[in-house]
Amino acid sequence: MPNQAEIHARERADRALRGGRPAEALGQYWQLLGSVRADRTHYEGWLEGAVAAYLALGRTREAGYGLLALRRYAEAQRHFPPAERPMEWALAASRLGHHGDAARLLSEHGHPALAAIELEAAGASAAARLEWERVLRDPRLAGRPYETVLAHFNLAEALLRIGDRTAAGRQFSTAQRLLEQVADEFETRGELERAFDCYSVLLRLGKDTGSFENVSEGYLNAIRIVAAAEDRYRVVQYHDDFVSYAMEKGEWHAAAMAARQAADYSVRAGLPYDRHYLMRAIEAWTRAARENLTAGGPVDLTANAFHAAIDAATALGDVAVCGRFYAELAELPLADKRRTRYRALAERYATVQSEPRPPAVAFPEYLRRPDNYQDIWRQDLVEWELGGDATAVLVRLVVERPPTEYSRLALRALLLCNAPTFAWDSPSALAELAVALGRVCYYDTLSPLERLYDHASPEVRAAVMRGVGEVCVRRSFDLVRRGLADGAPRVVTEALGALRRLKFPDGLDPLVRIFRESADERVRITALETIADIATPAAALVLIEAVRQETGAVRATAEARLGRLSGEEAAGLIRQARDAEVGERREALDRALRALR
């Protein structure tokens, strides 16, 4: 519900609008629209009033943006002349189901990737293929290996949809070769998020082409990167999905090994899913053993699979299952000595009384992240095609994202940079826009922020640092690194502030990289403070290492922040490190341990 101030502001705005004073009304509505957490009914009422004020003032473009946010696409479209505002007109057309019209306009105005996506939505696969070919010929792709890979991949999928499997195969082959190269380069540079994107595309490529090897490589590398970021539930979800996919495809060995890895990871991460994955591992090893036996495969493969199943059953504490597997081993055409031993073991396990075991807990559906499999092969090409254009990025966010406080902040930033008083050559205006972009908090706003950072004015670059500090994704650190190395002191100061605010678990690796690579004590201390705020066991290990290896203020910061942690796990890590040290380092770790809550 709105508060009394908001109620009175709405009344004043409505009176001003009825009284023919739209500028005064708009000022009131603009203040009200700053309450982005208001309930939908009241917020949309304010926005409708703002639209009416914009129209009364002849500011039709801003009125159109408000109508887009209100999902009144047909009305909005009338305020965007297609020759002048093709992106806005096409977005409205797309939402009205006129994908072909949207594609035609986008193609004419140099947006072949967006045009291809619209054509695919219209079911015009052959025409979409031509647009993807245009993307691949675009000279802007020169020197952009990642985007080039995505263009090959999208063209391959388009060719697959029209049934040209031979041409699709050539494009997929090129994409696979380039993907592996680009992923290696990203990992070498520490850009793990981009490497992860490459493996996500490789995973999809494997599913498209029926290559289990590529699917496996995509999943296993994605799991490795996510595990390094300590995103526990995401690690388990990827394991779970890989196990299910492998079992669906009859790849029993891969399924069993992935299930066993999921069980082991669950134990290490303190999650309750180990028994479930041990059971899945047993199932997969059993299927592998029996199918190999039925197919007349090497008997040693069958025996090895049964032994792996027994190992998993032993970890599960299921002695009855162990006995049954030993009995099956005793029936295999193996050396007499081995069969005799297996029979004896089967008989022994048959007499052992099974102890009660806790129930197996499967990975729950409510913990699944729906954004784990985004079509980044399209999203990242669209980002490249838009080239950091703030208006284009923001209007797409307003139209395509659900109505939340963040899409409302995107609308506010969009209205800000399209107001008649906004000047693109004004550093103060661009600085205000940079802060507004950061408040949106969406990954998509990084591209326009990166473009704004190239501005000559330190005022703009400093504002970019204020903005990027609100966007909690790993890519934000790339921009912060640039700010930390900026020649303008005010930019460096703001970059330090951004570094201090980017405290989220997935950001630990880039924070550690900044801490280790920087020679500036201020940067190192700030990075260490942020690492400490993350407060995971991995973060505690970084602090411990800093106490052991660093000197001066950096070491003092690490010691002080170690003492402010809590939990037995942190205490155990400090004790273990202390016991391996002598002298001053041991004393420092002892002080931290005593201070630990």
Please tell me whether residues 262 and 316 are part of one structural domain. Answer: yes
Is 196 within a domain? no
Is 147 within a domain? no
Q: Which residues contact 133 (CB under 8 A, 6 or more apart)?
A: 155
Task: Give the pLDDT mean for 34-49.
Answer: 95
Closest to 565 measured CA to CA, from 526, 527, 585, 539: 539
pLDDT beyond 80 at 229: no
Taking phi over 0 as left and psi of -120 to 50 as alpha, with beta for the rest, 20 belongs to left
CA dihedral sign, ordered 200, 201, 207, 211: negative
> What's the CATH number where 430 sits?
1.25.10.10
Predicted pLDDT of residue 351? 83
Q: How far apart are CA 157 and CA 113, in angstroms?
A: 13
Mean pLDDT estimate for the chain: 94
Please tell me whether residues 410 and 471 are part of one structural domain. Answer: yes
| pLDDT (tens digit per residue) in 198-217 | 999 999 999 999 999 999 99
Is 137 within a domain? no
DSSP secondary structure letters along 359-405 = PP-PPPGGG--GGGG--HHHHHHHHHHHTT-HHHHHHHHHHHS-SSH
Is 154 within a domain? no
How many domains, the chain?
2
Residue 474 contacts residue 510 (beta carbons within 8 Å): yes
Closest to 66 measured CA to CA, from 403, 386, 393: 403
Token couple for 350: 């048959």
pLDDT beyond 80 at 230: no
Task: Give the pLDDT mean for 30-34.
Answer: 95
Please tell me whether residues 581 and 447 are part of one structural domain. Answer: yes
570 — pLDDT class (breaks 50, 70, 90): confident
Q: Which residues contact 504 (CB under 8 A, 6 or more apart)?
A: 472, 534
Predicted pLDDT of residue 220? 96
DSSP secondary structure letters along 71-99 = T-HHHHHTTS-TTT-HHHHHHHHHHTT-H
Is 347 within a domain? yes
Give the percent of the chain with pLDDT over 90: 83
Please tell me whether residues 530 and 428 are part of one structural domain. Answer: yes
Q: Which residues contact 203 (CB under 8 A, 6 or more apart)?
A: 214, 215, 218, 219, 222
The domain of 302 spans 230-385
CA dihedral sign, ordered 312, 314, 318, 323: positive
Q: How far apart are CA 498 and CA 514, in angstroms?
A: 13
Q: How far apart are CA 291 and CA 252, in angstroms?
A: 9
CA dihedral sign, ordered 570, 236, 220, 173: negative
Taking phi over 0 as left and psi of -120 to 50 as alpha, with beta for the rest, 567 belongs to left
Please tell me whether residues 275 and 419 are part of one structural domain. Answer: no
Please tell me whether residues 404 and 540 are part of one structural domain. Answer: yes
pLDDT beyond 90 at 52: yes
Token couple for 551: 């000197």
> What's the CATH number where 345 sits?
1.25.40
Token couple for 578: 């202390």
| pLDDT (tens digit per residue) in 92-119 | 999 999 999 999 999 999 999 999 999 9
Please tell me whether residues 283 and 338 are part of one structural domain. Answer: yes
pLDDT beyond 70 at 597: no
pLDDT beyond 70 at 434: yes
Please tell me whether residues 373 and 434 are part of one structural domain. Answer: no
At residue 208, what are phi and psi to the nearest 5 degrees? -65, -40
Q: Which residues contact 523 (CB under 8 A, 6 or more apart)?
A: 484, 496, 499, 514, 515
At residue 412, what are phi and psi to the nearest 5 degrees? -60, -45
At residue 268's C-alpha, the angle toward residues 310 and 539, to 5°, is 165
Predicted pLDDT of residue 200? 94
Contacts of the segment 218-221: beta carbons below 8 A, 24+ positions apart: 219/245, 219/258, 221/183, 221/195, 221/196
pLDDT beyond 70 at 41: yes
pLDDT beyond 80 at 355: no
pTM of full prediction above 0.75: yes
Q: Which residues contact 35 (CB under 8 A, 6 or more apart)?
A: 2, 6, 43
Tokens 């965007």 sit on residue: 80
Please tell me whether residues 414 and 282 are part of one structural domain. Answer: no
Please tell me whether residues 377 and 441 are part of one structural domain. Answer: no
191 — pLDDT class (breaks 50, 70, 90): confident
Residue 219 contacts residue 242 (beta carbons within 8 Å): yes
| pLDDT (tens digit per residue) in 361-378 | 999 998 888 778 889 999
